[in-house]
Structure 1
């Protein structure tokens, strides 16, 4: 039950973050600002998440988990209420940016608590439920907020964000038990994991993988309109299909990562490169584009799980910090990929944005496969040393209970 409450909580927070994308035109009209100025409500929120990712989860890592969850949800509720009644755009912007710095605390905590609530081998499946909440918040929040604002009003759409967070706050208050931190890690010991070469390489890989996915996906609507030449209604349907498959991909990823994480990551790299290659060659045709959008959605869901797994397992001794670093890396990758994609479109045209995805995923593949080879070689050397020790004279193997101690 705890994992499901966390999943809904993450949905509410991501819905607040991404749902604003669906109401930007209404905000521009309401507050008499340009669409570019309205877009800062999204970009500055993402920047706040990226900045706070490595620091805020660390600062709150020693406090009772339930209290931290309630605090973050309370801040988001307050921000939602101020947004509903904001008299001008500046107040609205402030009400958006302040909660952004607390976003990584809840999401990082959700990943950590979900993984710790089950046996280690089942952790990917538990984390998958959280990622489904993330995917739903990112994908479903946009059309819902857009529909409510169009059918009723902007205030009603903003009230929807508040309602979700109030619901999660009350459920957390009533049903979630107190979760004091039993083993508090010092700030120094957690920060020291940032020196690990494997974690630094994992961060680079996650930045590239997210850049590969979102550097193209964020321009999917434009691609469908200019390259595939479909109507606005068809574009909306295909975006919804992408979102549905994204959620299904998250569910599938939990099973795949539990069975074999390395094979899952390898599959993702190869499959996304192949998908983008086909998209570049046949994106102008409707039927192939529908099939590729379905595959794209599946891979996008796998990416969210695989990247979180990759970083969290590079620093298992500091889960809160690792998940915060993951959120920063994911946001940086999204920002970088989107920026490069915009340059490609401006310089060469919409069809060539696919080359951004191909370039990023090719670089990610080089990093990932080099990292896997290093891990394999390291494990082989360790095994060889153990075998040499076992065969050396003077080594006594003592039996203690059921474990063999060298």
Structure 2
């Protein structure tokens, strides 16, 4: 083990927290705008629908921009790349804070989104170097915990600040968080020397491996399952469960706690055996969502089930991230960022599918749609296990010849 890695292990809590703060800021900037759309629309004199394109532009920036940016910067040392990405993130949010017009705000949001997937991918990759091999899944889950904690704490606080002091002040808070993360990364993340930098061709070949593509696909359906219901959770809770609008915020906090718990559990299980636990996790997720169909009619049971759903929905994330990076071998960077692109495509597809389902079958159909998408993801996991078994059997045959 190199001296840099040994030093990193001693700095494990603080160095990893710097990455988590960055992920926390990213989680805030992604989801905060949803609660401030009326404020943004009113200030920039656009409709709510037009303001919603700010969210669409960000999602496209993540899905398309992350792989492109990764390919352009793949030869950069990982610590330097993290500093560059957080610099882009800070500039994008600072420009969002001062943007005088709607087009400039959309442009600033797209710029910010370029750092999103690449930062999380490279950050997750660096996290695995900061710990012993048997703790890699937990390290990845700690980085991704920044996203989940942002939904519990960051987004509600940021929304409160934006509603009382103007939406631009919320972007100011995120900019400050980005600066803190940047300082921490520059100071505490060690330079981890690589024996050989993978070429762009190797990175692309790693992404195109059948098992990697299959993992990206069932990860996509996992996120589609989540967002097909979560996007419309407020009207579902109010219409089906009978909750008042003021109660929905607290239920979302409960869901966010479940999400954080699930992320931690998923990290521990990813350190065990990723595919076996993902198989059980996807099966459990599909069953929980099907059960939620019945439980939503009872407010108490509905909230309990939503909490359990949050655990199951996010327990899959660390395993998917770790598996894609492991499958990529010596060229994991593009694969790590492509994973976040696939997950964001899943988010967009799930939200779109949910909207179509509401139009055709009503709000009651969303839980069945979410369960079906999780079941499709389960099929992908099972196929991946079968491919693994086939490859292992071939290796045994070759070894015995």
Common fold: TM-score over 0.5: yes
Deviates more, 1:108-117 or 1:179-188: 179-188
SS at match of 1:314: helix
Q: In the alignment, which of 212, 221, 233 is matched to residue 246 of structure 2?
A: 233
Q: In the alignment, which of 172, 179, 191 is matched to residue 159 of structure 1?
A: 172
Q: In the alignment, which of 16, 19, 28 is matched to residue 15 of structure 1?
A: 28
Q: Find out whether 1:382 has 2:399 as its counterpart.
A: no
The total of aligned residue pairs comes to 388
Hey, what's the Cα distance between the residues in 1 that align with 2:117 and 2:347? 16
1:211 CA displacement: 0.8
1:104 CA displacement: 2.2
**Structure 1 runs (4+) greater than 6 angstroms displaced:** none
1:71 CA displacement: 1.8
What is the RMSD of the two structures over their aligned residues, measured on CA atoms? Answer: 1.7
Hey, what's the Cα distance between the residues in 1 that align with 2:208 and 2:269? 30
**1:62 alignment partner in structure 2:** 75
Q: Which has a greater percent of helix?
A: 2
**TM-score by structure 2 length?**
0.92
**1:131 alignment partner in structure 2:** 144
Hey, what's the Cα distance between the residues in 2 that align with 1:30 and 1:274? 44
Hey, what's the Cα distance between the residues in 1 that align with 2:66 and 2:31? 17
**2:110 alignment partner in structure 1:** 97
Alignment of 1:121-270 (within 5 A): 121-179=134-192, 181-270=194-283
Q: In the alignment, which of 285, 291, 298 is matched to residue 311 of structure 2?
A: 298
Deviates more, 1:116-125 or 1:337-346: 116-125
SS at match of 2:67: coil
Hey, what's the Cα distance between the residues in 1 that align with 2:208 and 2:151? 32
Q: In the alignment, which of 47, 56, 61 is matched to residue 43 of structure 1?
A: 56
Hey, what's the Cα distance between the residues in 1 that align with 2:217 and 2:231? 21
Hey, what's the Cα distance between the residues in 2 that align with 1:358 and 1:135? 22
Q: Which stretches in structure 2 are left out of the alignment for 5+ residues?
A: 1-13
Hey, what's the Cα distance between the residues in 2 that align with 1:207 and 1:154? 31
Alignment of 1:283-362 (within 5 A): 283-362=296-375
Hey, what's the Cα distance between the residues in 1 that align with 2:100 and 2:299? 45
Contact 2:24 2:147 in 1 (8 A): yes
1:113 CA displacement: 0.3
Contact 1:250 1:305 in 2 (8 A): yes
**TM-score by structure 1 length?**
0.91
Q: Which stretches in structure 1 are left out of the alignment for 5+ residues?
A: 390-406
Q: Which protein is bigger by CA-based radius of gyration?
A: 1
Deviates more, 1:274-283 or 1:63-72: 63-72
1:220 CA displacement: 1.2
